[in-house]
A and B are shown apart, each in its own frame.
Chain A
Amino acid sequence: MSTPAINTHAILAIYKFEMSRTLRTIWQSIVSPVISTSLYFVVFGAAIGSRITEIEGVAYGAFIVPGLIMLMLLTQSTMNASFGIYFPRFTGTIYELLSAPVSSFEIACGYVGAAATKSVILGLIILATSWLFVPMQIAHPFWMLGFLVLTAITFSLFGFIIGIWADGFEQLQIIPLLILTPLTFLGGTFYSTHVLPPFWQTVTLFNPVVYLVSGFRWAFFEIADVSPWVSLGMTLFFLSVCLVTIWWIFRTGYRLKK
């Protein structure tokens, strides 16, 4: 092949396109998640936190911070990436992407990279917001950033898959609403799974969100439901599953090509 092995111009073009979409919709992209997170703080942190003083030695207000960030990270990554690829399919502009000399890897890099970037920025903004409510220290900042970035990428990939699978705006909404939110709420976002009866503790181990929240919380306070290494392993496992699915989608042209 005379052409370069990687079309970096294309990756950058898609990335820039998606990031400018974020800037155009800054209000709904950044501001509304920050507002809803603040509401969670007011309701859970102030109202409930005044009765539950602390969990495993951490003030309740601080305890829910990693969970809240994860909740936003999962929902926003999924929604953003799914919308990013669904919209061209809906309007028909996908023709250009399909006719361009870009590989599936490059397309995914552009869309998922932009969605993940936005989620990471959002996560950090929520973290900064939470400092206004509760003072806290991060025990392992690099692990924290690592989990933040990996989770953002994984769920942006997941969203990308949803965006390709979805046949309408309804399906686009249904996954975050019906699957992601329950999994997050039941995944130890606002509580430690240790408070559950033994049977339900075992059940929650089938919930992938438990591993993400647990690892992330460990990075903050060194308290966890499972070992941070297990969390990391599971995160990488979900990442690989999403990567393989995307590879298959592009190889077969599933829902993309006629």
Chain B
Amino acid sequence: MPSIISINGLSKTYASGFQALKTINLDIQRGEIFALLGPNGAGKTTLIGVICGIVNPSAGTVTVDGHDIVTDYRAARSLIGLVPQELTTDAFETVWDTVSFSRGLFGKPKNPAHIEKILRDLSLWDKKDNKIMTLSGGMKRRVLIAKALSHEPTVLFLDEPTAGVDVELRKDMWQVVRDLRASGVTIILTTHYIEEAEDMADRIGVISKGEIILVENKVELMRKLGKKQLTLHLQKPLDAVPAELAVHNLALADAGNELVFTYDTAAERTGVTALLSDLARLNIRFRDLQTTQSSLEDIFIGLVTDRPAASAGAAP
């Protein structure tokens, strides 16, 4: 599939000397939802800023649907909608005016029907004549999304769209995002809520200290790095893992009261049956058992704290 955004050798060093991006190469595929994860200060917002024209790149190129963001900025930018991280809105304008303003700014002729549809989809219709300053934070967030969608973009950037937003709006918003994706819009989002990325994204990119350290299909990533653990709460504590059980990937926890078995869900045989029959043979009894699967969050933390990926999710 041809990529809609192509980033080649992109780097950014701020005037202060801080290198926010170190040679980024990344392709965003047409029509996908791409989640960009990374800790604070990793370079997510800088990367989005460069693509959208807010930050000047130091080196490298970016094309949006084949249009260079510097030499052909008009064509490139008219395809992009941006929802910024900060709640930066006008104060005295009405919702309707500010959304219409955005459409004009992006070079599109008036289209009240389209604006109405966006406002209705975002449950902003009954607020259309309100001044923005009278709206709550969540409503302002919706206004920013409406502004970004006003000119019917092909690519939508959502920079931390759910930061400080209540559950209802998050649900509403993700519905809008799903609808957009269904209509062929490519969506790039950054989020701190990893379960959202897990829920929404087709592909995940992890950025840390200005470098893309991983780009992977989400399902693939979960499968590759997703370890499952079986914890057995023993009736009698053990001093050590018995030699007869050495073939299983076992560890003791909670002062020998727990036996933790780590296995790969994707493997042909998980080894759970073999372990349980071995335990029965050795007369090791347990009161209770539970299984946990590593989430994207565990994987993510494992990656950015420089732990070997294989141990991701091993912590209790």
Contact = CB atoms under 8 A, between A and B. Distances in A.
Interface stretch (A3-11, A56-64, A145-153, A208-216): A3-11
Given A91-B88, A92-B88, A258-B54, A97 B105 contact: yes
Interface residues of A, number: 30
B78 A3 contact: yes
A7 B88 contact: no
B75 A4 contact: no
Interface in B136-158: 147
B92 interface: yes
A253 B78 CA distance: 20
B107 A7 contact: yes
A93 B89 CA distance: 6
Given A2-B75, A13-B101, A101 B86 contact: no
Interface residues of B, number: 37
Given A1-B74, A3-B78, A9 B107 contact: yes
A51 interface: no
A91 B90 contact: yes
Interface string A75-119: 000000000000000011101111111110000000000000000
A16 B101 CA distance: 9
A101 B73 contact: yes
Contact of B80 (A17, A93, A99): A99
B256 interface: no
Contact of B106 (A93, A101, A103, A258): A101
B23 interface: no
13 contacts: A9-B106, A17-B97, A17-B101, A20-B97, A91-B88, A93-B89, A95-B88, A96-B82, A98-B54, A100-B77, A101-B75, A253-B56, A258-B55
Interface of A: 1-4, 7, 9-10, 12-14, 16-17, 20-21, 24, 91-93, 95-103, 253, 257-258
Given A13-B105, A101-B106, 4 more contacts: A10-B107, A13-B104, A92-B84, A93-B88
